[in-house]
Structure 1
Amino acid sequence: MATTTLYGIKNCDTVKKARRWLEDAGVNYAFHDFRSDGLSAELVQAWLETLGSAALVNKRSTTWKNLTDAQKQQAEQGDVLNLLLEHPTLIKRPVIDTGNQVQVGFKADQYAELFH
């Protein structure tokens, strides 16, 4: 089976719930912290192509609220890659990549379906 990677920020409550679920379910996974491990343009571009910017960008985040109007406008017009690389906390968390499928967010029933 492909290696599963969970992307997020270690102090995010939703990421903690996802990690706990994976551990309780016995899923072998690697954790990649946006802040300490960074993100490549290629990876973020692949997520944007797979998930779309509407699913990937967290417009309810403090980071979004602190962006300038020009930055928000840039994102609304689809130029979101550089913004996400510059502000990785704009990415909805967690992003999970099973090697076969990429999903964003955490819901226990979705994870159960993904891994069983």
Structure 2
Amino acid sequence: MILYGISTCDACKKALKTLERAGKEVAFRDIRANPLTQAEVDRIVHEFGDQAVNKQSTTYRSFNDFLKASDPEAQIMAQPTVMKRPVIQDGDRWFLGWDSATEAALTS
């Protein structure tokens, strides 16, 4: 299982702690320290479309009009922290964000 996020993200910390407590082996990938490749960004956007971008974030709101009008891949490649977090890959299953449904699916 891979959890993509940033080390300062509260949702990422909570997800990581909960998954580890449930006995899951989780590799944490800090996308700020270890940026995503184009192929990884393409895969995430393929799974989630424009939902992969957190349009409520300060990062997104600071984008210029050109970048806001760009596709999600370009937005995430330009500023990885605009990606909604966490993104969790569990084999062939992908999850976006951390809520009770995601927690139940990954810890049961």
Q: How many angstroms apart in 2 are the aligned matches of 1:28 and 1:114?
A: 11
User: Given that residues 71 and 83 in structure 1 are in contact (C-alpha distance below 8 angstroms), is that contact kept between their aligned partners in structure 2?
Assistant: yes
Which of 37, 44, 48 is the equivalent residue of 1:47?
A: 44
Which of 23, 26, 35 is the equivalent residue of 2:23?
A: 26
The AA in structure 2 aligned to 1:35 is: R
Can you give the 5+ residue segments of structure 1 that lack an aligned partner in the other structure?
none
Q: How many angstroms apart in 1 are the aligned matches of 2:56 and 2:9?
A: 14
Once the two structures are TM-superposed, the CA of residue 70 in structure 1 deviates from its matched residue by 1.7
The AA in structure 1 aligned to 2:69 is: Q
Which of 29, 33, 37 is the equivalent residue of 1:36?
A: 33
In the alignment, which residue of structure 1 is the partner of 2:65? Answer: 69
Q: SS at the partner of 1:36?
A: coil
The percent of aligned pairs where both chains have the same amino acid is 37
Stretches (4+) displaced over 4 A: none
Q: How many angstroms apart in 2 are the aligned matches of 1:90 and 1:106?
A: 16
Q: How many angstroms apart in 2 are the aligned matches of 1:30 and 1:81?
A: 23
Does residue 1:17 correspond to 2:17, yes or no?
A: no
Which of 51, 58, 75 is the equivalent residue of 2:54?
A: 58
Can you give the 5+ residue segments of structure 2 that lack an aligned partner in the other structure?
none
TM-score normalized with structure 1 length: 0.87
User: Given that residues 95 and 102 in structure 2 are in contact (C-alpha distance below 8 angstroms), is that contact kept between their aligned partners in structure 1?
Assistant: no
The AA in structure 2 aligned to 1:112 is: A
Matched ranges for 1:94-109 at <5 A = 94-109=86-101
